[in-house]
Homo-oligomer: A and B are copies of this chain.
Amino acid sequence: MHSESATDGDAPLDMTLRLERGGTVSDQVYDALRHAIVTVRVLPGASISENRICRSLGVSRTPVRSAIVRLAEDGLIDVYPQKGSFVAPIRLAAIAESRFIRRVLEVAVVRDAGAAWNATHSADARAAIAEQARAIAAGESEAFFRADEQFHHIFSRAAGHDGAWAAIVQANSRLGRFHRLFGNKDRLPVVLQEHASVIDALDAGDVDLAAHRLEDHIDKVFTLIDHLPEDLRRLVED
């Protein structure tokens, strides 16, 4: 067995997956599955049956398998040969590692971004913050996360660190599920304030202050782990 998975045998949702954009079928399946997992539309521990998915999507097993292989490389799916594939559990140790990677990389990136910071970057960042505020008011949580990613992306673009951004996104794919499951809605306005304070520091040319504020901002992600709701504890490991 693979220990005690959350929703093992039961198949609560028939995977409301829809293939969207063009490109190869394999890519479409990959995007759909990845989105469903990161946004926790499918919960950690859920069974991923190749047969069920290809029946549900009307495609053959080949592109589905290809997508699963890629998701397994991303650490989002665990494959147990001859037993089954399951959405990877949220391991607290892995979350801590992802947080470490993201904090270290993003702080270094923002330091480089400070050197090339200009009015356009500032305007883009404040636009992203405004979009986050709108999403909060409208209760559109996915739009909030999307704008959050846009906001953090600006630093990498300003610094020209495309590769670092790719690494950050990869680490974030683990953190994303954590945020959506355990994120406290009361903290969202605080997030906005912290975002704005980082931009304020950059606009003022104080790179050290910006880096320090960003580091604190990312670290605060872990404050909400102390009061972890009991009914969600079964979704994490360790």
- A binding-site residues for B, Cβ under 8 Å: 24, 65-66, 69-70, 73-74, 81, 93-94, 97-98, 100-101, 104-105, 108, 161-164, 167, 170-171
Contact = CB atoms under 8 A, between A and B. Distances in A.
B97 A162 contact: yes
A66 B94 CA distance: 26
Nearest to A171: B167
The A contact surface, by secondary structure, is helix
Contacts of A69: 66, 69-70
A104 B108 contact: yes
Contacts of A98: 163
Contacts of A162: 93, 97
A171 B24 CA distance: 27
Contact of A163 (B65, B70, B73, B97): B97
Given A70-B70, A73-B73, A101 B65 contact: no
